Amino acid sequence: MHVTEVRSIAPEKRVGISKSLEVYSVSAYGPEMSYVLYCTKAAPESGKVYTALDEYVTANLSFLHLWPVERTSIDLPPGTNKNGRLYRVIIIQNIAPDPKPDLACDIYSEQARQQSH
């Protein structure tokens, strides 16, 4: 994932989000999609390229709960609880030192990239 812009979101612009929580808007793109992500407490560096995963996580790993998905609507491994919701996030790997090097950012928006031929 190529990170193109990172900016702090001013507390007065955060409707429904804690005013004390640091929130960053991250513009980034991968091979097929462009994203605006909201990251809390930390952010990747603009201009850098990271390994990132598109994942469904439980509520405690999605701080802003921006992209809820009913468990029954996605293909989960056999034996997984199908009740309730998961939240779609982008996990950006290795942006911080251990013990928690990865950062789960909520997807604010996504758009298919125009492929140049």
- Digit-by-digit pLDDT tens for the chain (117 residues) are 999 999 998 766 545 555 567 889 999 999 999 999 999 888 999 999 999 999 999 998 888 888 999 999 998 888 888 889 999 999 999 988 877 889 999 999 999 998 665
Total number of domains constituting the chain: 1
Domain-embedded: residue 88: yes
> What pTM, to 2 d.p., does this model score?
0.84
Hey, which residues does 15 pair with through a beta bridge? Answer: none
Q: Which domain holds residue 41?
A: 2-112
Instruction: Please tell me the chain's helix, strand, coil percentages from 3-state DSSP, rounded to the nearest 5.
Output: 10, 45, 50
Domain-embedded: residue 30: yes
Domain-embedded: residue 20: yes
DSSP letters, 1-23, are -EEEEEEEPPGGG-TTS-TTS-E
pLDDT score of 12: 60
- Structure confidence by residue, pLDDT tens digits, 70-100: 999 998 888 888 889 999 999 999 988 877 8
